[in-house]
Structure 1
Amino acid sequence: MASKAKQHPAIEAVLKSGTGKVKVAASDIDGVLRGKYLHLDKFLGAAEPGPGGGFGFCDVVFGWDSSDSCYDNATLTGWQHGFPDATARLDLDTYRRVPWDGGVPFFLGEFIRPDGSPYPICPRQTLKRVLKRAEALGVLPMCGVEFEWFNFAETPQSWAAKKGVGPEPITPGMFGYSLLRMNHKREFFNALMDEMPAFGIPIEGLHTETGPGVYEVAILFSEALEAADRAILFKTGTKEIGSRFGVMPSFMAKWSQQYPGCSGHIHQSLSDGKANLFYDAKSPRKMSKLFESYLAGQVACLMEFAPMFWPTINSYKRLVDGFWAPVKPTWGMDNRTASFRVIAGSPKATRLETRCPGADINPYLAMAAVLAAGLYGVEKGLKLTVPPITGTNQGAENIPRAPRTLIETTRNFRQSVIARDWLGDDFVDHFAATREWEWRQWLDGVTDWELKRYFEII
C-alpha cells in the first residue's frame, strides 16, 4: 500500500485496532445508510489515494427506494444499465469506532465517476457541491441539526406481525421535558448520551418532547459536512442502540394524526474561519447585512427545494395549521411558529434555525437545500424586505401556504432554475424522478384509512 495513505492517522488507527475488519457506509437517495464490512486488506486497498483507490459498490443504492423496489423512470441508473458497480471512495476524515459494535473502525463514503469527478446523484457529493460554491463566496457554513422522534416497544418481528398498524409507544401521554418519562427507559436514554459522543456525535441536549415516547436531541454544531455526517449517523445509531433495549425508534415525519409531527430543524451560520459573520453589534437586531441576504434567499426560494426537506408522502401530513410545524415561508425573531427563526444576540450564538424540515430528511440533501437557498441570497445580494411575523403567524395572512403534496413540490423543484444552478441538472432530474416514483406508489396503495372509511358503508 502507498506510504502516503499509511501516513493518514485513520489508517494507523485501523492498523492498531486489531479488529481485522472495517465497517463502511454511504447514503442512498432517501438518507438510508447502505453499507458493509470490509476485510482489513480490502479496506487498505480501498483507502489508497488517487485513481486506484475506492471500491466497487452496486449503483442500485441510487436506483431503488427505501423498500428496495427499483425505479422504472431513472436514467443514470436502472435496469437498462444492468446496475453495475460504481466507485465508492472512503473519506478517511470520517473515521470513528462503533462503541456498540465491538469498537469496529467505521468510515463514511461517497461516490465518484471513473475519472474521479463527483458522482452527480450522490447525496454527500451534492452537499459538497454547494459547499464548494460557499467557499468561492469566502464563507464557511456552520450547522447543527435537531431531531424529534418517537420510540416504540417493538421489534422488526413484532412490527411485521402487526402489519403496520398500532405501534406501542414506550411511554404514554403528553409529557415534554419529563424526568419521569426519561427514567422509564433510562438505560436507553443514557446509552444515547454516552455512546453517541464516543461515536463522534456530541449531543448538546436530549429530552422528552410532547407526545407518547417522543424524544428530542440537539447535536452539537460543526462545519456543515461534519454536521450532516453526524445527523445521518445519529439516526442509524439510535436505531441500532435502541434494538438493544427493545426500542424501535421512528423518524417518520408523522406517525399519528393525533400527535404533533417530528421535526429535523437545521441551525446555520456563516463563518470566515474565525468569527460568526451573521452577528453585527451595531444592528438593532444584531443581524449583519450578510445574515439578512442569507435569510432573504431562504424566504425567496427555499420552497423551490421543498422535496429535499419534505421527501416523502408522509412529510406533508406534518404540515397542519396550528400543530407546531410551520406551513408558510415566514421569518420571525425567536419565533417558533415561523419557518425561519432568527436567533440573534451574542457573537457566538447568532444564527438561523430553519424549521421546515422533518425528521425524515436525508441530512445531506436537506442541508444542501437550505444552504443553497441562503447562499443564493448572499450571491445575489438580496435585501430582506419582508417584515417578520409576530405571535402565531400574525403578518403572514397574505403569504401563500406551502403545497400539501409531494407531487406539487416535485413539479416545482423540477422546473426550478435556481435548483438546477446550485445542484446540477443530473441531480435535479434524478431526484425529481425518484419523488415522482414515490408519489405513484402512494397512488397505487390501499390504506387502512380507506378500509375503515369505505369498506362497510359505501
Structure 2
Amino acid sequence: MTTQEIIDYVNSHPSGKVKLAVADIDGILRGKYISKQKFLSVIEGDLGFCDVVMGWDMADVCYDNTDFTGWHSGYPDAKVKLDLSTFRKVPWENDVPFFLGEFIEEAAEICPRNLLKRVTEQTEQAGFKPFFSQEFEWFNFEETPVSANAKDFQNLTPMTPGMFGYSILRSTLKNDYMTALFEHLAKFDVPLEGLHTETGPGVYEAAITYSDVLTAADRALLFKTSVKEIAYQQGIMATFMAKINENLPGCSGHVHQSLWDADSRTNLFYDEKAPDHISELMQSYMAGQLFCLPHILPMVAPTINSYKRLVEGAWAPTTLTWAVDNRTVALRALPISKKSCRIETRVVGSDTNPYLAIAACLAAGLYGIRKNLKLNQPATVGNGYRDISNGILPRNLDEATNTMKNSEVAKELFGEKFVAHFTQTRDWEWRQYAKVVTDWELKRYFEIV
C-alpha cells in the first residue's frame, strides 16, 4: 500500500487508534496504542519510546550492569521510527492498523531489527540476496495466565494428552484453534507453509513461508506473539520455552536460509555439476557458521533454558557438525533442487529473538564467504551426537556468554557496542538464575545432605 492508502485506512478505521510495537533484546514485543492523530503526526518523523525497554529483562527488572541506559541515565526516551512497509491489520482485533518500529540514532546500535538490517546491507553489497524462513515448535496448555500462576506453573493441563506427532486426529480435536491459527496468520501477513502436531502433549509445529530476510524476521517475531494472542481467545496458553520438561523433547526455532543472485533469479547454493549439488559458496557459508557458532551462540540460544534443549538424543544438536538431510547435526544441508536448495540451522531454539537468530546465521555465513573458508570438515555419517571431531557447543549460557564477550569474531560481525550490551544482558540473565534455590535442589538435598 502507498503512504496515502495507509493514511486513508487509519483515518477510516472506526477505532480511531493504531497499534505499534518494537522488539526488545529478548525478542518480546513492547508496544502501545496511539490515537490516529498522534500517528499522523509522527508518520514522516519519529516518536519517543522510553528506553527502559532496552534496559530491563523480560520480567521488567532493570539491569544493573548495562552501559546504554539505567538509573545512571534516568531512562530517557529513545527515538523510534515506524516502518510503514510493516503495515498490517490485526484480524482478531477488528482489523486495527498495526506497525512495527525500530530504534534509531544512538539506540540503533543495540536495536535487534537495525542489527539485522546492517547485516542484510552487507550481504547485498556483496552481491547476494538472502532468503530466509523460521519454523517453530511450541507447547499449548488449557490454562490462562491467572491459572498458570496460581499453579506456580506446575501440573499444567496440556491441550491434548500423549505423544502424537503429525496426528490427524489431534488436529481435528482442536480444529477451531488450528483453523484460527492458519487463517488469522495468513490475513496478518504471516503465511504458513505447514502446521501440524509434533511429538509431545499439546505440541504444534509451524513453518512460515520463506521470504526476503527482513520480512522473514518480522514474520517470525510477529508469529510468536500472534500465536499467544490467538491462543488466548481459545482458552489456551502457548509457550515457546526451549525445554518445558526434561522428559519431553525441546522446542526448536530452526532457521532455513539460502543466498540468491542480486536479481533473485538464481539460487547460488545450488550447483548442478557438483556430486551433492552443494556449491562452493554454500560450502563457505556453512564453514563460516561452523566456525562462528561458538563465538555467537547466545544469539541462537539466549536463555538459561536454551541449554536444557541442547542435549544428546533430544532432536537438538550438541556438536559442530553438518550433513545432508541429517537431523542430528548442527547444519542440515538440503540441496534438493535449484529452487529449494538451502541450509537448516538446527541449533536455534523457539525461545530466540528472530532478529538476532537470523542476523547471527546470516553474518556467520557471510563471514565464511568473505574469508573464503573451506568446508574441510567431512559430512557426518550417522549419529551427529557421536561426531566430536570439530568440537562441541558451549554447555550453558554462562560459558557461551563469556566466549562471546571476549570474541573478536563476534565484535567484527556485530560491532563492539552491540556485543557489549547483549552480553551484559546475558550475564544478568545468568546471575538471576544462579541465585535461585530450585526445586531440584530441595528434592535432592533437603532431607539427605
TM-score (norm 2): 0.97
Aligned to 1:170: 159
Give the C-alpha shift of residue 10 in structure 1.
2.9
Return the match for 1:182 from 146, 152, 171. Answer: 171
Aligned to 2:191: 202
CA contact (8 A) 2:162 2:200 kept: yes
In terms of mean alpha carbon deviation, does 280-289 or 245-254 score higher? 280-289
Aligned to 1:98: 90
CA contact (8 A) 1:388 1:395 kept: no
Aligned to 1:348: 339
Return the match for 2:142 from 142, 153, 171. Answer: 153
Aligned to 1:361: 352
Aligned to 2:29: 33
Cα 1:6–1:309 shift into 2, 3 Å: closer
Deviation digits for residues 262-298 of structure 1 (CA, Å, limit 9, x no counterpart): 0000000001222211111111111111111111111
Deviation digits for residues 360-387 of structure 1 (CA, Å, limit 9, x no counterpart): 0000000111111000011111111110
Aligned to 2:101: 109
- Distance across 1 between alignment mates of 2:29 and 2:385: 41
CA contact (8 A) 2:139 2:201 kept: yes
Aligned to 2:406: 415
CA contact (8 A) 1:26 1:108 kept: yes
Q: Please provide the CA RMSD for this pair.
A: 1.4
Aligned to 2:68: 76
Asked whether 1:14 is paired with 2:3, we answer: no
Secondary structure of 1:141 counterpart: strand
CA contact (8 A) 1:32 1:66 kept: yes
Q: Amino acid of the residue matched to residue 220 of structure 1?
A: T
- Distance across 1 between alignment mates of 2:213 and 2:295: 21
Give the C-alpha shift of residue 441 in structure 1.
0.4
Q: Amino acid of the residue matched to residue 141 of structure 2?
A: F
Aligned to 1:269: 258
Return the match for 1:133 from 119, 122, 137. Answer: 122
Deviation digits for residues 111-142 of structure 1 (CA, Å, limit 9, x no counterpart): 0117xxx6111110111111111111111111
Asked whether 1:453 is paired with 2:448, we answer: no
- Distance across 2 between alignment mates of 1:394 and 1:59: 42
Aligned to 1:44: 40
CA contact (8 A) 2:299 2:360 kept: yes
Secondary structure of 1:91 counterpart: strand
Give the C-alpha shift of residue 395 in structure 1.
7.1
Cα 1:6–1:327 shift into 2, 3 Å: closer
Give the C-alpha shift of residue 18 in structure 1.
4.2
Give the 4+ runs in structure 1 shifted more than 6 A.
none
In terms of mean alpha carbon deviation, does 163-172 or 247-256 score higher? 163-172
Q: Amino acid of the residue matched to residue 342 of structure 2?
A: R
Give the C-alpha shift of residue 448 in structure 1.
1.5
TM-score (norm 1): 0.95
The aligned length equals 447
- Distance across 2 between alignment mates of 1:120 and 1:68: 21
Deviation digits for residues 130-184 of structure 1 (CA, Å, limit 9, x no counterpart): 1111111111111010100000111010011011222221111111000111122
Cα 1:394–1:61 shift into 2, 3 Å: closer
Asked whether 1:219 is paired with 2:213, we answer: no
CA contact (8 A) 1:147 1:216 kept: yes
- Distance across 2 between alignment mates of 1:18 and 1:234: 26
Give the C-alpha shift of residue 415 in structure 1.
1.3
CA contact (8 A) 1:10 1:93 kept: no
Deviation digits for residues 216-237 of structure 1 (CA, Å, limit 9, x no counterpart): 0000000111001000100000
Alignment of 1:426-437 (within 5 A): 426-437=417-428
Unaligned runs of 5+ in 1: none
Aligned to 2:59: 67
Asked whether 1:326 is paired with 2:338, we answer: no
Deviation digits for residues 7-36 of structure 1 (CA, Å, limit 9, x no counterpart): 454334323434311100010011110000
CA contact (8 A) 1:253 1:358 kept: yes
- Distance across 2 between alignment mates of 1:445 and 1:384: 43
CA contact (8 A) 2:294 2:394 kept: no
